[in-house]
Structure formats: C-alpha cells, structure tokens
Chain A
Amino acid sequence: MTSKKYDLVIQNGRVIDSALGFGRDAHVFIKDGKIAMIEADSAPIRQEMRSLDDEQIVDATGKLVVPGLVDIHVHLREPGREDEETVESGCRAAAAGGFTSICCMPNTTPRIDNQETVEFVQDRARNAAARVYVVGAITKGLEGKELAEIGDLVQMGAVAISDDGYYVRNAEMMRRALEYARMFDIPVMQHSEDQQLSEGGIMNESFESTRLGLRGSPSVAEEVAVLRDIALCRMTGGRLHIQHITTRGAVQAVRQAKKEGVKVTAEATPHHMVLSDTEIGKEFNTNLRVNPPLRTETDRVAVIEGLVDGTIDCIASDHAPHSAEEKDCEFDQAPPGMIGLETTLGLIKTHLIDKGYLSWADAIRKMTVNPARILNLPVGTLEAGTVADITIIDPEKKWTVKANKFHSRSSNSPYIGRRLTCQVFKTILGGKVVYER
C-alpha cells in the first residue's frame, strides 16, 4: 500500500456509529470523499499509517469520531433576512457545531414554496461548509389555504414539507397534505400549535406567566394540534413529523400513537430539555422567548423521558437567528427564537449525557442516523462507501459560550456566559476539513 491510497486518516479516535451499532477505538480511512474503511489498531494498519504524510493524518487521541451531525430543523433566513443569517454563515455555524447536514425551513421571504426558491437556496449552498437539504412549504405562502406544488418541490430536491412557524389550521388541508406527500414518501413536518388557543401568548401559560403578568400560551394548544394530526395520520397512512415537541401531553400522545403503529416521528430541541419557564422572570432575557415557549419543569422532564425511551426520535436545534436590534427590546415585543447550531452538542453533553439520561451512542443516534432516516438522507453513518461526513468531538473540553465567538450572523443565545463541556474538534465534509479548532 502507498500513502496515495487514502486522502485522510483519522487515527486513534473512539469511533461511534449508532447506525452500525458500534463504539470502538479505531482508525477511519477516507478516500475520494468517502469512507474507505474503519479498522481497529493492528500491526499491518500501523505499518500502513507509517507510509502516510503528516498532513494526511488527523490524530484523534482522546476524541470521539462520529458521523457528521444532522439537524433537521434550521432557519437560514436567506432569502429575505440576510442580516440575520445567510446560507453560507448558517453553514459555517453548523460546521462549528459539528453539523454536516442541515435542513432549512421554508419560512423565508419569499417563502420556499416553489422550485425557483429551492434552487436558489441550493445554489447558495453549493460551496458551503455543510450540506443543506431544503424543506419546502406545505401550503402556498404558508397561508394554509392551498397545497404548494409539492411534487415540484420534491423534484427539485426538497426532502420534506413544513409550514413551520404556522400550524396548518384547516384539518381538511392537513389531511390532503398527508395523503399527497405519501406519494413521494416524504414526511409532513408540523408546527403543532392551535393558534386560536395560543393567540397572543408570549410565554408558556403556567404560574410563571401568572406571576409575571405575561400572556400565556397553554400547553394544550400543542396537545390539541398533535392529537388531531395523529388522527389524520392514522387515517391517511401518511408520515407525520412533530416539530419541536414540548409538552408532557404531546409526548404521551406520540408515545401512544407509536405503539399503535401510526407513522409519527418527533424531534425535541436542546432548549426545551435544558430550560424551563422559570428562567424568564429572572431578568426577562428576550433570548428566552421562543415558540413553542419554554414549558414547565414537568414538561421539560417529560420531553427528556420521551427522548430517552425513543418516543422522540431526534434532537433538532430549531436554530432561529434574530438580529440584536430585534431582540434588544421589551420582552413581549421581541420575536421568538434562539440560535442553537453551535451550542447543541455542548448542551446535550452537559445536560443529558453527563446527567445520565443518554449514553454517547444514544445521543449520536438522535443526532445522526435517526434524523437522516426520517428524511431519507444518505448520511448519518460511517459505513464504508458513504460520504465522509465526520465530526470529531473533544468530549471533556470545557468552554464558555461567548457572543463574539459565534459563526452565525446572530448571537441571540440565552447561554452566553454559560460553561459547557464538550466541543467540536474538527468537522469533515465529504472528506475535507471544513472546521477545526
């Protein structure tokens, strides 16, 4: 063998691939942008590595080597709000957070509800630091009145449909969306919120909203929406994906539906598992205003339990950049949303793995193979022959979240100043290092 056989070799890392079901010390060999092989240490392998040049080797001693992380819920804001984020900056943030594949939501301006806009985003993403998969709209203009040209969207490469930010209020429309999307085997991703029940809600409706005098959005607004859609999903045989699930009742509804064999999947965000509504009154930090809102401690624990027992399939950041000007205001005037791509991994390690809720293998499953399977993405594994999208993680590295260190164009994070454990060491996309610390 000669050194030219491989473009890159990641040596001495702890390799975790939840798709293949292993976690072991091994070397990962990359050739032509793909995984060539993963081999445990041995005399012949050591011999082989001696023939490599230094620049071909990444030493991952003490690090975790995992498939590039997949985030199925990201807002890139382009087109329309390039001051908050662009496809390029969002992908840099993704790479810095260890994500090599991200799915962008269609609530841009204009909406991603036609082929041209899908193509525009794909064009922007061509040389970006992460793969961008586009989620198209369920309805034209996200208005909930007419189905978008879903077939066209899929033909152009959309991997799912969602009216994220808006709930498809008309049950008949949702029924037809589930039926129609079934033809393309794509899920309908639903922002589950009965917006009549939640109208005017600034935070979760609980004693906290009562105490603070802020108008509440009740958890039942989410539960009513989830229960309706599960019924429609059961009827149509379509695939329903519940976005950013947050309440105990909604988790229970999905758990029950899965037992019955309904084709429903769900995602949860780190912030709904780390923070609860009691944080808001401490200083009315507008970065804590999100939609769905931060819920109660009971809900927070229920979401973690749902993640642990498999009711919730994956972790998604719901990365939602907003400009400092928009967030630097009265709490109830601020737009909802926080950024998340660059803090997700640290939060999951610090708050879920270190606290014993998830093993590394489980966490990686929820951030790689599971989201990839929901959307039929050809990523999320290190299987030989697949694209070499790899994240190398320094699991015990401690760091402090700082506003001026974000790669995102926005810095609306409530975690600024927090100490987290675990940081990305290198992110490799198609065999090339796109981020390194």
Chain B
Amino acid sequence: MSRLSSRHLLGLEGTSRQDIEAILETADTFREVLDRTIKKVPTLRGITVVNLFYEPSTRTRISFELAEKRLSADTVSFSPSTSSVKKGESLRDTLQNIEAMKIDMVVVRHSSPGVPYFLTRFSDANIINAGDGAHEHPTQALLDMHTIYKKYGKLDGLRVVLIGDAAHSRVLRSNIWGLKTMGASVAICGPATLLPYEVEKFGCDIYTNLDEALDGADVVNVMRIQLERQHAGLFPSQREYTRLFGVNKDRLKRLRRNYTIMHPGPINRGVEITSDVADGAKSVILDQVTNGQAVRMAVLYLLRGRDDEGGVS
C-alpha cells in the first residue's frame, strides 16, 4: 500500500506538494540511517526490486541499488548489453518475463520518453522512473530539492536558475515541475537553440544571457552539456558555449550572498562549470549524491515499505 497518492513514481509533473513533502521529510530520516555504522533497515525485506537500466548510468544506478540493499530488498539488475535485448527481445517481453519471476518493484531508465508509463500498462509492480529520455528524472529533482531544503530550510520563495541544455534535459523538466509545485521561482538559461519550443509555457523566466539570469539567484543548478549537440549544429563550439554560458568565479558575484552551486553530474569540467566553482565552498555537488541515496530510499519505502519490519523510526 503506497503512502503516496500514486503507486508509481513516473514523474513530478502532477505530483502533489503533499507527496513531495512526504518524500523530502522521509528522506531526512533515511539521511540519518546513512550516518549510522550499520546503514541498513529491514523495511523492504521480502520485496524484490528489478533495476532495468537500458541506458548507461553510474550514479543513479548505484544509488538505487544501494538504496534497495539498505532497505533489505532483494535486487536484480539488468543491462541490455548482457541480456536478450541483444537478441531482439521487445521491452514488453523482457518485462513480462521478469515479472513472471514474481517481482514487486521496477526501477527503469530508458532513452524513450514514456517508457515508465508503458510498463504500468502490463505490470503489477510499482514503477519508478529513473530517467526516460528527455522527459523526466524525478528522483534527481527530488534529491536536488532535498539538498536545497537542507540548506535553506525552505523552497518557497527561492530563486533557482537552471542553466544549460533545456531541450534535452530530463533533470531540468523534473526540477521545473517539482520546484514550482513547492513554491520556488525558476529561471532557465541557455543558448536559444537549446531552449525548446514554447519553453516559456513552463511558467519560468527564460534567459539567453547568463549574467542577467544569475542576478539575485539563490541556487544555480548547472546541467551537463552533451558534446553531440555541438555536432548537431545546436551551438558552434564548446569554446563559445563556455564563454557565453560557462559558470565561473567572475560570474558568481551576481548571485545572492548565501548562494548554492549544484550539478547533477557527470561534470564536463571547464565547459559548463569551472573546477574551482564545482569544488568550491558553495558547491553541494557531493551532498547531492549522498542525499540521492536518502531520497531514493524514501521513495522506495513510501511506495512499498512496511513499518512492521522496523520502519525508519
């Protein structure tokens, strides 16, 4: 029985403030578990979770796997390069076969938007979206929000600037939905060619000038730029991108005093962000990774966990 209003976490669009608050609050509790000597609770004992990662991933995959293990779930991980997908098996057949082995939860990462929705059509498992194409990456946005919340004690009224490839970033989309639901003001900044069509309809401030975007911001969340975008003609060179949109020390003075630097990783150092900023005092990039564990444990627990098995108290 899910403690959230849905039995799946498919995206943050449409996810209620109440559900987001429940996840952030529960993550706080799990954050404490991670500081214990024995970082394990029996909450998901007897539950089997399958990690279906159709796309390469390091931190999200390890983060989910560890979160599952620390909740005492039985886990199976799947990668297409070592599976029947190589032999041409369809996604539906793959999942139906796995489901026939009596699984309870599926964490799915896929390059096609909508795949987590597709899975709900023929699976009884709880589905968690770990990134579907350029659509959503809800747990990343939740961990971003958790990190911001931990620092400021609130999300309401903060000004968050998302910088980079808005057209292709699922992290950015989930951040927009989540942050707006929680009352933050959101700005997007990037080259015009990487701002998707009618992006203003998200209800965010849109900038193509980084200095203007940074004015008075509390949080700067820098998205990774993919080099293939340059080859697709969406910007002329990395050099020019860095000059126009790279976050460096000189630009930080435009931010509020108590500003925060974030990045979902992996970082192209020296391209979208300089190393001194990424590793500087205001950077919470590694906190994001730790908090990601706690948030993912919270999501798994709220969707399927049992209190009578020890819970999270």
Contacts and interface: CB of A to CB of B under 8 A. Distances in A.
Contacts of A210: 167, 196-199, 201-202
A330 B115 contact: yes
B170 interface: yes
B135 A212 contact: yes
Interface string A180-216: 0000000000000000000000000111011111101
Central interface residue in B110, B113, B201, by most chain A CB within 10 Å = B113
Nearest to A286: B118
A329 interface: yes
Contacts of A284: 113-114, 117-118
B195 to A, nearest CB: 9
A331 B197 contact: no
A213 B173 contact: yes
A212 B114 contact: yes
A291 B154 CA distance: 46
A295 to B, nearest CB: 13
A213 B112 CA distance: 9
B155 to A, nearest CB: 22
Contacts of B135: 212-214
Interface in B186-207: 196-199, 201-202
B197 A325 contact: no
Interface in A308-343: 325, 328-333
Nearest to A332: B112
Contacts of A331: 112-114, 118
Contact of B133 (A205, A207, A214): A214
B92 interface: yes
Nearest to B54: A330
A329 B198 contact: no
Nearest to A202: B113
B13 interface: yes
A333 B173 CA distance: 22
Interface in B167-195: 167-168, 170, 173
B206 to A, nearest CB: 12
Contact of A207 (B13, B115, B132, B198): B198
Interface string B81-95: 000000000111000
A325 B90 contact: yes
Interface residues of A, number: 20
A104 B117 CA distance: 35
Contacts, number: 65
Given A207-B197, A210-B196, A332-B133, A283 B117 contact: yes
B252 interface: no
B134 interface: yes
A222 to B, nearest CB: 15
B91 A213 contact: no
A216 B197 contact: yes
A380 interface: no
A212 B197 CA distance: 12
B91 A329 contact: yes
Interface string A234-250: 00000000000000000
Contact of A329 (B92, B134, B167): B92
A305 to B, nearest CB: 22
Nearest to B133: A213
B68 interface: no
A210 B168 CA distance: 9
Contacts of A214: 113-114, 133-135
A276 to B, nearest CB: 14
A108 B210 CA distance: 52
Interface in A146-176: none
Contacts of A209: 196-197
Given A211-B173, A212-B114, A213-B170, A328 B90 contact: yes
B136 interface: yes
Interface in B106-147: 110, 112-115, 117-118, 121, 132-136
Contacts of B136: 213
A218 interface: yes
Contacts of A329: 90-92, 118
A103 B132 CA distance: 40
A211 B201 CA distance: 9
Contacts of A328: 90, 92
Nearest to A216: B197
A2 to B, nearest CB: 62
B165 to A, nearest CB: 11
Contacts of B13: 211
Nearest to B167: A210
A212 B201 CA distance: 13
A331 B115 CA distance: 8
B96 to A, nearest CB: 11
A207 B118 CA distance: 22
Contacts of B173: 211, 213
B159 to A, nearest CB: 22
Contact of A333 (B112, B117, B201): B112
Contacts of B91: 329-330
A46 B113 CA distance: 65
Contacts of A207: 197-198, 201
Given A283-B121, A329-B92, 16 more contacts: A207-B198, A207-B201, A210-B202, A213-B133, A214-B134, A214-B135, A216-B197, A284-B114, A325-B90, A328-B90, A329-B90, A330-B110, A330-B112, A330-B115, A330-B118, A332-B113
26 contacts: A206-B197, A207-B197, A207-B201, A209-B196, A210-B198, A210-B199, A210-B201, A213-B133, A213-B134, A213-B135, A213-B136, A213-B170, A218-B197, A283-B117, A284-B114, A325-B90, A328-B90, A328-B92, A329-B90, A329-B118, A330-B112, A330-B114, A331-B114, A332-B112, A332-B113, A333-B112
Question: Closest 5 CB pairs between A and B?
Answer: A213-B134, A284-B114, A330-B112, A213-B135, A210-B196
